[in-house]
Structure 1
Amino acid sequence: MARKFSLAYLTVPGIEAVDQIRMAAEAGYDTVSLRTIPMGQQGEPQNDLIREKDLFAEIRRTLQETGMKVLDIELVRVREDLPLDYREVFEKGAELGATDILSSCWTENQEFAVEAFGKICEQAREFGMNVNLEYPASSAIHDLAGVARLQEKVQAPNLKLFLDMLYVFWAQDTPEAIQAIAPERFGLIHLCDCPKDHYLRDRTETMRARREYPGLGAIPLVPILKALPKNPCSIELPNEEYIHRYGAMGHVERCLAHAKEVLQLVDQ
């Protein structure tokens, strides 16, 4: 089965959902990963699909016109001061065809985290969706062992481990550690590379503006990806320099071309 590639929102930061869909279709992606949960960050579109009915209709119409599908929606952050009821958001995502939700844990309170993810997974299950748990370097849980323990405590079949290659690299998670976990526990994959001079850069800058094309950076992607099941890859690769040099469309095309080259080595 051919590997599926999705265009993540952050690859072209600030992009409107409709433009992201059209760009992904033109570049040859299979799906899109949309940010439909407003995060309130400056410079980002706040896609409130519950209240903005015209926007929801426009996104659905654009999906139909382009033949694109939505892979996942983002971002559910678990933290004490954030909501735990996402039913309406998940319902809208499911109506657009999304099968997955991206999430991360931002609380040190393990008891709260287990309870919160249990509730969120139950809500997602109502719409046949998986919740993918990521471990950003700046979040409360920032390695594979940590999210695996939380997954075990939640005991929700639709809670999956989501591996972003950048965070796998920084956490020094090995292919052997990945292979020690049952394949069905893993979900989607964020694909990118880390610049070779990453040790000279601020991690936040690297995460949000300096990710490298797959195969051109410091991450040993092939052995890591070989250890994972052949699940869809969402390309999350913001790079201000490349967008300036190639334009947003050129950057998106190069992301996919480099990703396919790496995955050919993985899947052969």
Structure 2
Amino acid sequence: MSSASTPKYIHGYQEEEQERLREQAWVIERPIYDFIDFSEVKELLEIGSGVGAQTEVLLRRFPHLSITGVEYESRQIAKAKINMSNAGFGEDQIRFIHQDAKNLKLDRQYDGAFICWVLEHIPDPIEVLISMKPFLRPGAKVSITEVFNSTFYTFPVIPAIMDYWKIYNEYQVQIGGDPQLGAKLGDLLSESGYRDISLRSGGFHLDSCHPEEKTTVFNYWKTLMNSGAPALLSEGLVSEMQIKDMIGAMDQLREMPNSVFYYRFIQATAFV
């Protein structure tokens, strides 16, 4: 696909960003995967498999799975194959397919589907949910985890962080994404014809009672926010000084004993 036809992606595809995705999967693993059960699933369809960061966690937690990862960006697939090989997972456990998830053309059906941090980046995400449904067997289990970015809060509130976060989220909307998508998952699944839909809120509420985890999450979140900086900078939406001030403020909060980090994401489980 030419770069002209490739949709804008707030995080970009630099090698540094590809590594951040793996770190993200590790930092947020327990809040997500402690509430996912694919023990009864054998063949799993992963939409938006990226660099294989979540795929790696899935195979470590559920080694019996055979996973097909569908990814739009060929650079991510190339990195994913390296990551899977380095992690010791073979082609009998994972294969990657270069397709647009809105127009899937697969050669089999699956008894489970997994989507994590993907639909927020896709205009009209309901098209993905409809597109994948014919490739899921009756009774197939679907697990989706998505952002709800308006829940992000720190104490104390520092304008350098919150002003940047506002610009970051507005840009995601501008390029066709939805930083509040998690809140809409139930309706999207219902409109797409899925059944037995259940929703839960997961995330972080970290204070002086959790100093080590708070440090880890503040570091991770700073990296997440900074991952959008090249795009925001190139669009003229932020200055170098704004980026520097945001990073400094996140470091300040991380070192403050009584600071608070709060964020919620939404997980949906549904069936075909």
TM-score range, shorter chain: 0.3 to 0.5
Q: TM-score, normalised by structure 2?
A: 0.35
Higher-Rg member (1/2): 2
Q: Which has the higher strand share?
A: 2
Q: Indicate the structure whose relative CO is greater, using CA pairs within 8 Å and at least 6 residues apart.
A: 2
